[in-house]
Amino acid sequence: QPVLTQSSSASASLGSSVKLTCTLSSGHSSYIIAWHQQQPGKAPRYLMKVEGSGSYNKGRGVPDRFSGSSSGADRYLTISNLQSEDEADYYCETWDSNSGVFGGGTKLTVL
Amino acid sequence: EVQVVESGGGLVQPGGSLRLSCAASGFTFSTYWMNWVRQVPGKGLVWVSRINSDGTSTTYADSVKGRFTISRDNAKNTVYLQMNSLRAEDTAVYYCAMIVSRTIDYWGQGTLVTVSS
């Protein structure tokens, strides 16, 4: 079963960029992951899938400011031109043997 | 537009049962895998269970195996989660979530389950 590791918190200034990381455990570095955003008091929202190749596929309506990339076992979510509404929890997700796995989530603060 | 709407949450005593429903619209329901994911208030997301498109295959997290049962009625575009022998640690918001391709693509708004005497 893969384990997804995320930093518990991150912060960046309004208008700047931030890169969040989701690390896959040993033996699972080729796995696809998805990023989900959860704004305070709301349900999660699917943002994008990121492949091991670095290609990514965003959900409908996700702003161009959001992009994905990959390096080895690391999957990244980059948010450019940070807005106040980007302050949220961000979770990564993957699958193995028909079971889902989530990372612990990163709380992003926009300063 | 894809819509996924949960219902059935509420307050239940320890040891009791509850059935959650998730009604879907805006897509061909019978094509896709469906899931339940839960979240203790203030904590992270935890996958609970999934069912394949025709209902013939199910998997569960170890924490609910033997107590929860996922099922679906493709004629009603609805997936269910039957929860038995409920414990205080099952208290959470339960989300219904759909997989279009390999990972979750759509989420419902959630329904709160509180297990307390």
Sequence-distant (≥ 6) Cβ neighbours of residue A89 within 8 angstroms: A37, A38, A105, A106, A107, A108, B44
pLDDT at B61: 97
pLDDT in 10s for each residue of chain B, 117 residues: 999 999 999 999 999 999 999 999 998 999 999 999 999 999 999 999 999 999 999 999 999 999 999 999 999 999 999 999 999 999 999 999 999 989 999 999 999 999 999
Q: Which of A49, A94, A102 sits opposite B46 (nearest CB)?
A: A102
pLDDT of A97 higher than 90? no
Mutation for A interface: B102, B106, B112, most A CBs within 10 A: B102
Q: How confident is the model at residue A88 (pLDDT cuts 50, 70, 90)?
A: very high
- What b/e readout covers B57-72, taking b as 16+ CB neighbours within 10 angstroms? eebbbeebeeebbbeb
Query: Whole-angstrom Cα distance, residue A74 to residue B25?
Result: 35
Chain B positions in Cβ-Cβ contact with residue A33 (cut-off 8 Å): 103
Cβ of A36 within 8 Å of Cβ of B107? The answer is: yes
Query: Whole-angstrom Cα distance, residue B24 to residue B22?
Result: 6
CA end-to-end span of chain B, whole Å? 40
